[in-house]
Structure 1
């Protein structure tokens, strides 16, 4: 009788251990699944930021992920544009060009005399006006240049800040002008060069926003300048989950060699 009771007790212990192990395995798998699907928190200077949308520049491993682990070519901005800057668009959509080839302008995108210069990133690129075709900003001809979004500020020191966009990667897979935009630091200089004058801005803040926060492109600040591109590539969804918005504030005017030698 004692032997039979001990045998039942042994089997009970074995089944109990198996049940506990199974429960732990299920819990662990569930935790891993939740962790994998949870958005990556934002870190600021090595610490978890209280706000995931208003961030300081990030250095280290996270910057490498945001900057150097990029997917195939994708455009920076492709969205509905309204004729009045006071009525911002409803979606800051990224992805393939949605403008039909048949309705694209027959002439190349108009090039202004302006350039965008970011010394710390070795960026020196022509600024081209992005035209509106059927209420769409048509960036199909932007190439490796910087695009000035129509309906945002027309020029430096305008009542509305100009919004400039560019590719993260080019159509041939090489880095685009804003490939290293995440590496900018606060107070680093951004130069808008036009008509022999350098309008020097200093980086003020960075924001990671969702695609529907297009109001970030409309900044009623006469001393403001906006740079925008895509970030946070989602390999599962095959799309960028966020947009990087860099805001800079006017610092000073410099005379360029072009004006001196002219």
Structure 2
């Protein structure tokens, strides 16, 4: 059975000085195409998660790329049998992802990026092309990391991204002589993290181009353990970019949704939130 919904995730750091003025046009175009999801418009760029039919998604991307600021925006796609969003929102925010540090100015350049293909080669070898050890650094929140992450990754157990600068500042000496690759779900947090790390004196810092989802798309799940948490009703995607399936509890027989599987009350083969509550 063909999946009727195309899900897209995209972002771009680019100066937007007319976010409030263009917001109505974004909302109107999405409503015209019956799309659902969320678009964030900020002074430092755009971030979007949308789902709709193939024709509607293609129509929106054509409309979006007609604006020269977004002409080269890179989009990651996945498919689903159901619409993963309940409504359509276009929000104005001060930052794409809140770090509470100076805004990124893309005109000043971005941090170096490593492609999934090159990263896999580095991880296969155990070092980068210069022979430096490769250290993977997860910039996501702790509950996301618990769903899945790269093997042997640095996980600082942060509760929110604005905690990252203070935590990583303590690691500069320990990471000297290594190549650090920051990563996240789709690229936003790891790009912002890598730029910040460069600004405070870290050397040899790369961002994973397109994040975990792009890694899955390009090279699969090697060197990655588990699934990737996503912020919609699918909850998590596996390395084949398919949603985490529902399960049946061995204890009570209830259907356990992907989100319920994240509960500490869920232990596969034993019990779930339904029989614990």
Same fold (TM over 0.5): no
Q: Which is bigger in relative contact order (C-alpha 8 A, separation at least 6)?
A: 1
TM-score class, shorter-chain normalisation, is under 0.3
TM-score (norm 2): 0.22
Structure number with greater Rg is: 1
